[in-house]
Chain A
Amino acid sequence: MRVSTMQLHNSMSGNIQTASTGVSKTMMQLSSNKRILAPSDDVFAASQLMGLDDDLSQLEVWSSNIKSATTMLSNQETALKDINNNMNRARDLAISAKNGSKSQEDLEAIAKELEQVVETIADLTNTKSSSGEYIFGGTKGDTAPIKKAASGWDNNSSSSTRKIEISDSQSASLGVTSEQLFGSSAEFLEEMDTFIAALKNPSTDNAAAVDKVIKDIDKAQKSVNESITTIGAEVNTLKAAETTNADKQLANKSMQSSLEDLDFAEATTRLSVQQTMLTAAQKSYSSTIKLSLFNYV
């Protein structure tokens, strides 16, 4: 084929351009360690990556929810254990009141201490979280759950707790409410008040009152212990969910990296081939350009 002088120049400079474009793209891939620099480089992989990105941010949110739920449940657990200890104390005091040798003065002292125990239990039930929410208030966390009323006690909590998402198929219940603990009108506290009143009244048969209150305390403790067990089970579920979540995040990231990360060995080999090609194109240009019949005429 006949080749004109301009054509020769054009095609050789075209070769150099093609070779240097290749080198520059490989260099960009190497410096970002990414195989895909724009979605159009690999549309299919890019669309998978977008889905994986969305999944990952969802997993991160669930992981943060798991942490929040764990904190809330452990706050409740601590408070419930304290309540349980105070109930034990109430039971000891009640039993000591059964002893016939106690004077009315002694009984008054026991009643006074029991009043304090009741108040502590009420305070513990009204525990607030760091954000100011009553932890046993359920979905009415802005109102103190337990409140001394004109006669007896008011229990203001909601009947159930919130749920939050912890995975695509699971949600966690955030513990128990004071209604679940003590009944809708805080019966336990009222029963304690009745007992205290009986102790203070010299004409009551203390032995019968003590027997009744022990039963009441047993029943309340059973409820508290059941709650502690429920919370423990919930915490275990959260731990399992956290492990699954972490596994999924790991799998997601490794899938992302297999889709978008650069095969370093392949890229460096490619770079050196491209550089050789570029050098060859430049050398052949510079040597061809010197050839001209005019040099010999």
Chain B
Amino acid sequence: MSMIYNGVSGLTAASTALKTTSSNIANAGVAGYSRQVANFTSAETGGVYISQIERISESYAVQELWSSATVLGYNTTDASHAKRLETTIAGNSTGLSPVINEFFGNLNKASADPMDNAFRQEVLASANNMASRFNSLSNSLDTQKNDIQHQMGSLVGEANSLIEDVASINKAIAEADTAGEVPGHLLDQRDKAIQQLSEHLNVSVLIEDDKTATITMPSGEPLVTRVETSEVVIQGGFVAIDTGVATKKIDEPGGAIGGLVDFRDGTLADAQKELDDLAQKLVTSLNTQHKNGFDAKGNAGKDLLKYENGKMTVEITAPEELAFSDKADEHGSNANLLKMIDVQNDQSINKDWNSIVSKVASKSASAQNSHKASETVFKEATNKVMSKSGVNLDEEAANMLVFQQLYSANAKVISSANEMFKTVLSMV
């Protein structure tokens, strides 16, 4: 009789193994699916049974994937915004160099014939060009800052829904754990949600004894504890964690959200500040010099430009009001004009602008390099996980053959035991 039981145990085990294989084949294309292996164990009776359907996953490799996702998330937002800023600032049709050179060039040309209104018109036209180019550049930087705020809002929203996902999967896992075995797909789903959350924020993950995941910020604020969740909020432009009891500001949120915060307060804020300083200096020094001069009617010079709240305007509309002369009664003098021309070099206007461009370009270059490097690290981490947990169809095909043969062999055992039994019976 034990022969039949052995056969039946083998038959059952083979069919369970085949079912596992079929599930692996069906899920071969699902990202984040961890392959399952049926573990055969010998029974004391001589039969066999499937002691466990093992979900193949290496927690160390998975943790590494999550932390590489955090770095990649950070560098992706940083690099894409740095590239955008670089394109804005360095573009020939958006940068300041051409209009600054045009303005001072026209001043210089006017010095040959300072009373000629045609030259004066050119000077005013290029001053207006310079002001409007500056304003549109400054607007572009403001727009980028606003876009960053919006992007932060939507990423925080995603992070919160991922936090909720992890908590609800935690609940299902804890229930399944109490009932017996935790199904692999729940763990896969949770791993995937944690990976996405890691792309958004730098989080620490701890798997508890009841198989639930505890997620905290590295600075200790809890995001998920079993089924309890905290909410990520934006307060005054900064990321904070609202635990329901208290709200705490996070200085370094990391991930894509941290990348946005750091880019906004670093590269972008620096560029905005330097641009503002440059405009202020240009306007102040030109005005000071212009007011030292006398216009074509012998009147003292007024303000040529105005810079207020990040906006540059040309204050003079009549070309005669340009104060090029140094004496009220010598309208053909260019002595004050020559000193206005000197502002370009004395105040290192072009050098300052070029240094803004160079800084942004080198930030962009290093951001792109870091992005490439973190992409490689992320790919390697992904490969490590996939190499361990991913389905290989050739392997499954071979397993399928083995389990089919196992099934047939055990069926044969049962039928031959049956034959033997019949033979014995017929002898009676």
Contacts and interface: CB of A to CB of B under 8 A. Distances in A.
Interface in B72-100: 82-83, 86-87, 90, 97-98
A5 B390 contact: yes
B331 interface: yes
Interface string B231-267: 0000000000000000000000000000000000000
Interface residues of B, number: 61
B332 A38 contact: no
B294 to A, nearest CB: 11
Nearest to A69: B112
A244 interface: no
B400 interface: yes
A57 B393 CA distance: 66
A265 interface: no
Contacts of A68: 109, 112-113
- What's the dominant secondary structure at chain A's contact region? helix
Interface stretch (B2-10, B280-288, B358-366, B412-420): B358-366
B387 A1 contact: yes
Contact of A57 (B90, B105, B111, B118): B105
A40 B102 CA distance: 25
Nearest to A137: B332
Contacts of B394: 5, 292-293
- Kindly name the residue among B111, B325, B397 whose own CB sees the greatest number of chain A CB atoms within 10 A: B111
B354 interface: yes
Contacts of B109: 61, 64-65, 68
Contacts of A57: 98, 101-102, 105
Interface in B366-395: 368, 379, 382-383, 386-394
B329 A5 contact: no
A169 to B, nearest CB: 12
A229 interface: no
A131 B383 contact: no
A133 B116 contact: yes
Nearest to B33: A6
B191 to A, nearest CB: 15
Given A2-B388, A164-B112, A38 B354 contact: no
A266 to B, nearest CB: 21
Interface string A86-99: 00000000000000
B186 interface: no
A204 B272 CA distance: 84
Contacts of A65: 108-109, 111-112
A165 B334 CA distance: 11
Contacts, number: 167
Given A4-B391, A162-B114, A11 B108 contact: no
B43 interface: no
A72 interface: yes
B391 A6 contact: yes
Interface in A137-152: 137-142
Given A68-B109, A68-B113, A2 B361 contact: no
A19 to B, nearest CB: 15
Interface stretch (A23-31, A45-53, A116-124, A186-194): A45-53
Given A47-B358, A72-B112, A58 B101 contact: yes
Nearest to B30: A6
A38 B88 CA distance: 11
A162 B365 contact: no
A80 B389 CA distance: 97
A133 B117 CA distance: 11
Contacts of A3: 387, 392
Nearest to A297: B397
A162 B332 contact: yes
Interface in B300-343: 325, 327, 329-335, 338, 341
Given A39-B357, A68-B109, A139-B325, A133 B86 contact: no
A140 to B, nearest CB: 5
B401 interface: yes
Contact of A7 (B327, B335, B386, B397): B386
A158 interface: yes
B409 interface: no
Interface string A140-184: 111000000000000000100011110000000010000000000
28 contacts: A3-B387, A3-B392, A4-B389, A5-B393, A7-B387, A14-B379, A38-B364, A39-B357, A40-B361, A57-B98, A57-B105, A58-B105, A60-B105, A61-B108, A68-B113, A131-B113, A138-B330, A138-B332, A139-B327, A140-B329, A140-B330, A140-B332, A141-B115, A142-B331, A164-B108, A164-B111, A293-B394, A297-B400
Given A38-B87, A50-B358, 10 more contacts: A7-B387, A38-B361, A40-B368, A43-B358, A50-B357, A54-B350, A139-B330, A139-B333, A165-B108, A292-B394
Question: What are the 4 closest A-B residue pairs judged by CB atoms, nearest first?
Answer: A4-B390, A39-B361, A141-B332, A68-B112
